Structure 1
Amino acid sequence: MNILQPSNVLLQVKTENKTDAIRRVGQALVDNGYVEAPYIEGMLKREESMTTYIGNQVAIPHSMPEYVQHILHSGIVVAQYPDGVDFGNGNIAKLVIGIAGRGEEHMEVLSQIATVCMEEENVEKLVKAQSAQEVIDVIGETL
């Protein structure tokens, strides 16, 4: 199963609060067969314990360690929010990237996504992407 496929890309999502945004990417991970539903609870608990906003208009919600047994396959979901999602303290995410990584893949996937999103040029391309393929072309180069 591919970590990133077209059904994992959500474009032009209307602004919502961070809890709903995390639920949205978590549910997409469930719907696409990457995780079981309890994983979403772990994503919300992670956000309560520390923000998953990494800067540069990007948040990368993922779960607490005690929920990893609910990961079926490694995968990511990219939700594009043109008007942003407020992650608190003035941090607005235009990209909310839900991730689930099995075993050692978790840190590898997280690291690769963070590396892509450190480059403002890449974030700009992702925020302006008009198709799932454009998103895959930017992120997929590293996965």
Structure 2
Amino acid sequence: MTETNANPEILTRDAIRLGLPATDKYTAIRQTGDLLVQRGCVTPEYIDSMIVREEEVSIFMGSGLALPHCTNEGRAFIRKSGIVVFQYPEGIDFGGEKAYILIGIAGAGEDHLAILQNVALTFMDCDEATLHKLYTTDDVDFVYNLLMPG
């Protein structure tokens, strides 16, 4: 991700969770939100806004990726920009599609759209082999370096 590279704190290795057991999409969204709260990126109210976003417009992006983030109103609960990465090797059902990676996003100010775009573009640039490795790896550094190159 090029835009977020200017802020190395946006993703830290301890914000990457790998090999998680399958669950339902709402539990998975809440898990990403809880870690954003723990990192000090958002207040707890942000999590409810993430759920509302999924109910209004699916956060599933294709290519095994879902991007839990808030509604416009939920941006009031963002304290600082940050992302968290959750990997579910068995997949999470999003209306018949499987997400293996959920990247919870909190973007303060103008960061919000830039982060969403950069994450989506990073995934679009991945070949099938890289995506498969991302869905199944137990290597935090692989995930970190893919999302935060350089």
TM range (shorter): over 0.9
The answer to whether the 8 A contact 1:85-1:92 is kept is: yes
CA distance, structure 2, for counterparts of residue 109 and residue 125 of structure 1: 22
**In the alignment, residue 52 of structure 1 is paired with which amino acid?**
I
1:6 offset after TM fit, Å? 1.2
Contact 2:85–2:101 (CA under 8 A) maintained in structure 1: yes
Structure-1 residue corresponding to 2:4:
none
Any gaps of 5 or more consecutive residues in structure 1? none
Structure with larger RCO (C-alpha < 8 A, sep 6+): 2
Query: Could you tell me how far apart the structure 1 residues matched to 2:23 and 2:93 are?
Result: 8
Q: Does 1:105 align with 2:111?
A: yes
**1:42-53 paired onto structure 2 within 5 Å:** 42-53=49-60
Match of 2:127 in 1: 120
Query: How far off is 1:131 after superposition?
Result: 2.4
Aligned structure 1 segments of 4 or more residues deviating by more than 4 angstroms: none
Matched to 1:59, the amino acid is A
2:85: which partner in 1?
78
RMSD: 1.4
> What is the CA–CA distance in structure 1 between the aligned matches of 2:131 and 2:51, rounded to whole Å?
24
Deviations 1:94-140 (A, max 9, x none): 00111010111001100000011112344223213212221111001
Unpaired stretches in structure 2, ≥5 consecutive residues? 1-7
Q: Structure 2 length as normaliser, TM-score? A: 0.89
Aligned mate of 1:131, from 136, 139, 149: 139
